[in-house]
Structure 1
Amino acid sequence: MTDANAFNPWRPVVRDYLDSLRAAGRRPMTVRLHEHYLRHLQRFARDPLKITVRVLERALAARRDWTPETIRSAASVFRGLTKWLHARGLIPTDPGLLLPAVRVPPGVARPIPDPILDLLLTAHLPGRSRWLLLLGGHCGLRVGEMALVHSNRLDGDLLFVVGKGGKERWVPVLDPDLQAAIRSAGGWLFPGRQDGHLSPGYVSKLLSELLPEHWTAHTLRHRAGTAAYRGTRDILAVGRLLGHAKPETTMRYIQLPMDSLYAVARAAA
């Protein structure tokens, strides 16, 4: 049986590394994201000072459900740790330098990885932050559409949305807490100074402060499109959710599921 009080060599290293990130002014959720991926890495090495490139590769390859974007995000965290360890003289060489670049297909959607969004949604965030994440990451709303969410535009679990060019659509809101928040708002969900609600620019600013570095409000919308297509394979319905007039536009918001690529490859073989 493992002694619960036994010394964990990871604990002081992770503590000092996260402190260095905070000292460098990194966003709180960026620090939390690093901590999240480092917990995963600890399963593959008992001692952080004995990490090898093979350990890093095993940790990245272990999660078959991770998309290329998620793998690249984790690899960036691993490289950050090993670079810091080497710079502090705690390890003789930097194994992160030997990690191969993670290839993400060019010219395709860039959805925020599910582990990052899940981490944000499970954090103790104020209601406004959580509603913005859900409206973008689950409902696929643009920042301008988020700013205009109003209690009188919710009918049951359907939200009436006016998008680009005045195009109208209905978007399901399935999270019960978000539904309740919209109903009880008694007006704009995000009150502000622009005709009584927040401006799209301010909504974008709030999300940029909330999300880890390299992720934007639009990557939440890409995530909604990607997840919706992964679960349905219905490009027309996904386009309706996102408010697109053409399937070609919707395809730019969807990161094609890997099982689809393998199915095509098997069919071609």
Structure 2
Amino acid sequence: MTTTQPSIGPLWTSELSAWQLALQAMRQSPQTIELRMYHVRRLGRAGLSGSPWTLGPSDLLEWAGGHQWARETARAVRSSFRRFWAWGVETGRTDVNLADVLPPVRPGQPLPRPAAPAVVAGAIGSADGRVGLMLRLANELGMRRGEVAQVRPEDDLVHDLVGWSLVVHGKGAKNRVLPLPNELADVLRAAPPGYLFPNQTGGHLSPHWVGTLVSRALVDGTTMHQLRHLCATEIHDATHDLRLVQTLLGHASVATTQRYIAVDDSKVRDAILERSRRWHP
């Protein structure tokens, strides 16, 4: 049985289209625009008002409070709403930033959640060629779903004296260059012209759909982003170089990278016991 999403009113649609153009003019990344639009569109589909500018503060507060979001999701939604209504104020559509009614959400302390290697290996072994390649890019290079979606081998492959590398188009229009294993480079070099994962209109698949396809191939609720955590954890275990992992993942802050790296509890135990033996031989 198929389910249809509630429709969104024409005034919401026109205002969201105008805001999307504003975000594009600000050179926001496609992933950021998609996320911002998704958040506000969900609110529009709730049918609380015919226009975003006639929505009442209590309506927004009750709608947001009625969702059991994770802390980081709630922070992202609030940020999208604040930016949308700030744009409304700047363009003379409204006099107040309605999202100011939403209380700040303190950032949490997310724990690293690397995917289980056996789960990843099983998914790669059983997935079709397209999804298998998505899995490999996320697992071997630690790429985000939006980065995987945008791969265009004819433009993004570069070669130097040591081998092939991939130009990764990261968040905030920040590119980085990642070395490719030889076999993976051969697969990308053999790809037809255009995007590696094209949609039906000649563009690339949306980051959301790439993440959905990969998550379907995994089991036990494992997500595509957990492959990034696994990549970070295993490379840090092998190199003990936090700055290297930061560069690999494309993080602006080492503090962000640290949240991706899981610590093996057995290593903590071994370290404590070894130190204890030195004090109490």
TM-score by length of 1: 0.56
Q: Give the fraction of aligned pairs with identical amino acids, expressed as a percent.
A: 35
Residue 215 of structure 2 contacts residue 221 of structure 2 at CA under 8 Å; is this kept in 1?
A: no
- Which structure ranks higher in relative contact order (CA pairs < 8 Å, sequence separation ≥ 6)? 1
Match of 2:190 among 181, 184, 188: 184
Question: Pairwise mapping of residues 130-141 of structure 1 onto structure 2 (< 5 A)?
Answer: 130-141=132-143
Amino acid at match of 2:118: P
SS of match in other structure, 2:235: helix
The answer on 1:113 being equivalent to 2:116 is yes
Residue 236 of structure 2 contacts residue 261 of structure 2 at CA under 8 Å; is this kept in 1?
A: yes
The answer on 1:143 being equivalent to 2:145 is yes
Amino acid at match of 1:238: V
The answer on 1:166 being equivalent to 2:169 is no
Q: What is the CA–CA distance in structure 2 between the aligned matches of 1:217 and 1:145, rounded to whole Å?
A: 12
Q: What is the CA–CA distance in structure 1 between the aligned matches of 2:246 and 2:200, rounded to whole Å?
A: 32
Unaligned runs of 5+ in 1: 1-105
Residue 165 of structure 2 contacts residue 177 of structure 2 at CA under 8 Å; is this kept in 1?
A: yes
Q: Structure 1 residues 265 and 195 mapped into 2: Cα distance closer, same or farther (>3 Å)?
A: farther
Q: What is the CA–CA distance in structure 1 between the aligned matches of 2:265 and 2:201, rounded to whole Å?
A: 43
Displacement, 1:167? Answer: 1.4
Q: What is the CA–CA distance in structure 1 between the aligned matches of 2:131 and 2:208, rounded to whole Å?
A: 15
Residue 165 of structure 2 contacts residue 180 of structure 2 at CA under 8 Å; is this kept in 1?
A: yes
Unaligned runs of 5+ in 2: 1-108, 277-281
Give the paired residue count. 162
SS of match in other structure, 2:252: coil
Aligned to 2:210: 203
Displacement, 1:262? Answer: 3.5
Residue 230 of structure 1 contacts residue 257 of structure 1 at CA under 8 Å; is this kept in 2?
A: no
Q: What is the CA–CA distance in structure 1 between the aligned matches of 2:224 and 2:145, rounded to whole Å?
A: 7
Q: Structure 1 residues 263 and 175 mapped into 2: Cα distance closer, same or farther (>3 Å)?
A: farther
Indicate the structure (1 or 2) with the bigger Cα radius of gyration.
2
Displacement, 1:213? Answer: 3.0
Q: Structure 1 residues 266 and 241 mapped into 2: Cα distance closer, same or farther (>3 Å)?
A: same
The answer on 1:233 being equivalent to 2:240 is yes
Q: What is the CA–CA distance in structure 2 between the aligned matches of 1:216 and 1:175, rounded to whole Å?
A: 26
Instruction: Tell which deviates more after alignment, 137-146 or 196-205.
Output: 196-205
Tell me how large the CA RMSD over aligned residues is: 1.9
Displacement, 1:254? Answer: 0.7
Displacement, 1:264? Answer: 3.4
Match of 1:218 among 225, 234, 245: 225
**Which 4+ runs in 1 deviate beyond 4 A?**
none
Post-superposition Cα deviations, 1:120-162, rounded to whole Å, max 9, x if no partner, equal: 2233x32111111111111100000000111121113211012
